[in-house]
Amino acid sequence: MNISKIDLNLLVYLDVLLREKNVTRAANRLNITQPAMSNGLKRLRDLLNDPILVRTSDGMVPTERAKELAPVVRGILLTLEETLQPNKDFEPEHSHRVFRIMASDYAASTLIPALLKKLRTQAPATSLDIMTPSDVTFHDVENGKVDMAINRFDQLPQSFHQKTIWRDSFACLVNSLNPILGNFNLDSYLKAQHIWVSKTGFGVGVGMDPADVQKLGWVDEALAKFGKQRNISVFTRNYHVAMHLAVETDLIATLPLRAALLYQNDATMKVLDPPFPIPSIELKMIWSPLLHQDASHIWLRRLITEVADELHL
């Protein structure tokens, strides 16, 4: 195949077709007519000698060849867009840029306040648009619609850039009047009632099953290694809710230490070490290759790293 004879627009068509799996939607994404996209699909089929998309009862489904090509084509296009983007100097003191950051409530509580303080000093006219994980998809980050996502991630697309902000251990947050404080050990921990907090990711979650330890996350997986299971009374997807419930009830909230330390000066609460080992977690920031060379984005990443270093425990 002579690459000099290939219309590179076909790579864009292929990328969008494999994302949308629908000719009409793909055409709308590229602001071209449906016949033009259909013609592009025909040319792709001729070029690759493969159907690319096959109509089934479930709609258009990509062939195995198309599935192999999808990440390669996406990577090529992202690299090309990144390379061709103009690189301008960034002057934070004069900038009116809006930084859009997806942050879990854990990150929003422990990192963002210190970051905002720095922004108010160094770039007073900039703004922060903080979004929750359910507001954002990986595609939003990949396409540069969101400057950055800050969370804990199990899996990430290979195209993303990433940097670890910090590692965090776990702690137990308990009301200071809770009788468990007189004898806090693994046995009393297991007999007590608990608040579960989800490991939030992208998209909207579903209901939890207390018996499904594999989906309960770090704390319960750590207990399962000892053949133990805790009694969970409340499931929540929000660390602030978990901490408030621990304040108001006799329930125990086991959560990342930095979140628990938000209550370290509250006389009504006690922050305790868990009575069993729990692996630490990593808070990461991820961003699109499209923004990797952007001067304002480079400045923001450096600022976040600086803030994290200053917040070192």
- The CATH code of the domain that includes 131 is 3.40.190.10
Mean pLDDT of 272-301: 93
Q: Are residues 199 and 291 located together in one domain of the fold?
A: no
Give the pLDDT of residue 151: 93
Q: Give me the CATH number covering residue 64.
A: 1.10.10.10
Question: Which structural domain range is residue 234 located in?
Answer: 170-279
Q: For residues 232 and 239, give the distance between their C-alpha atoms in angstroms, rounded to a whole number.
A: 15
Share of the chain above pLDDT 70, in %: 91
pLDDT digits (tens, 9 = 90+) for 163-213: 999 999 999 999 999 999 999 999 999 999 999 987 555 444 455 665 665
- Please give the pLDDT value at position 4: 67
Residues 269, 178 within the same domain? yes
Is residue 103 located within the same domain as residue 56? no
Give, for 231, the enclosing helix (H) or strand (E).
strand 231-236
- Please tell me whether residues 244 and 102 are part of one structural domain: no
- Find residue 195's DSSP bridge partners: 234, 253
Q: Quick one: pLDDT at residue 3? A: 67
The full DSSP string for 233-262 is: EEEES-HHHHHHHHHHSS-EEEEEHHHHGG
Same domain, 237 and 174: yes
For residue 260, is pLDDT > 70? yes
Q: What is the tally of structural domains in the chain?
A: 3
Question: C-alpha dihedral over 250, 206, 186, 277, to 10 degrees?
Answer: -130
Among 84, 119, 141, residue at a domain's last position: 84
pLDDT computed for residue 208 by the predictor: 60
The yes-or-no verdict on residue 214 having pLDDT over 70 is no
Range of weakest confidence among 75-89, 170-184, 253-267: 75-89
